[in-house]
Amino acid sequence: MIENPMILNNWHDKLTEPETPKDFFGDEVTPVDDYVIDCGAVILRENLDRYLREQLGFKFKNEQ
């Protein structure tokens, strides 16, 4: 019995499979995610604080 290596290796056709969009930090973006776009870069809402700190130099303060 000969096994098909494409099935054994979980092979799939990258040309017909749509690429999953990624945000600035490489996280997958799904249609239900909240995100912002800054100069063409997509940033998930959960990564927004990190993006503002690391890329734009924002400093967050709590005055309570």
CATH number at residue 38: 3.30.40.30
| Residue 52 within any structural domain of the chain | yes
pLDDT in tens, 12-37: 555 666 778 999 999 999 989 999 99
Q: Contact, 37 vs 29, CB < 8 A?
A: no
- Count the neighbouring beta carbons within 10 Å of the beta carbon of residue 35: 18
**Residues 1 and 13: beta-carbon distance below 8 Å:** no
At 10 the pLDDT is 57
Please give the Cα distance from 26 to 62 (Å, whole number): 29
Q: Is residue 9 part of a domain?
A: no
7 part of a folded domain: no
Domain that holds residue 27: 18-56
Q: Tell whether 26 is covered by a domain.
A: yes
**Bridge partners, 22 (sequence order):** 28
- 51 falls within a domain: yes
What one-letter code names the amino acid at 17?
E
The number of distinct structural domains making up the chain is: 1
Q: How many Å apart are CA 10 and CA 18, to the nearest integer?
A: 17
pTM score, whole prediction: 0.66
